[in-house]
Amino acid sequence: MIKASVDLVARAIEAASAVRAVVPELPPIAVVLGSGLSSLVEGLADSVTIPYAKVPHFPAPTVAGHAGNVVVGKLEGAGVLMLQGRFHYYEGHPLQVVTFPVRVLQFLGVRTLILTAATGGIRAELRPGNLVCLSDHLNLLGTNPLRGLHDERLGPRFPDMTEVYSKRLRSLARDEAKRLGINLIPGIYACLPGPSYETPAEVRMLQALGADVVGMSTVPEAIVARQAGMEVLAFALVANAAAGVIGTSISHHEVLEAGKKATPMLAKLIRRVVLKVSGIEPGKTGLTGDFPVMGDGL
**Choosing from 18, 135, 205, 252, which is the catalytic residue?**
252
**Choosing from 90, 93, 254, 257, which is the catalytic residue?**
90
User: Can 66 be counted among the known catalytic residues?
Assistant: yes
Q: How many CB atoms lie within 10 A of CB 199?
A: 12
**Choosing from 88, 89, 177, 234, which is the catalytic residue?**
88
Helices 100-107 and 219-227 cross at an angle (nearest 10°) of: 30
User: Can 165 be counted among the known catalytic residues?
Assistant: no
Strand partners, 46: none
**Choosing from 12, 15, 117, 118, which is the catalytic residue?**
118
**Choosing from 39, 139, 240, 278, which is the catalytic residue?**
240
User: Can 137 be counted among the known catalytic residues?
Assistant: no
User: Can 57 be counted among the known catalytic residues?
Assistant: no
User: Can 91 be counted among the known catalytic residues?
Assistant: yes
User: Can 161 be counted among the known catalytic residues?
Assistant: no
**Choosing from 16, 78, 216, 239, which is the catalytic residue?**
216
**Choosing from 12, 16, 35, 166, which is the catalytic residue?**
35
CA-CA distance, 237 to 232, in Å (whole number)?
17
**Choosing from 16, 66, 198, 258, which is the catalytic residue?**
66
**Choosing from 15, 78, 91, 239, which is the catalytic residue?**
91
List active site positions. 35, 66, 88, 90-91, 118, 216-217, 240, 252
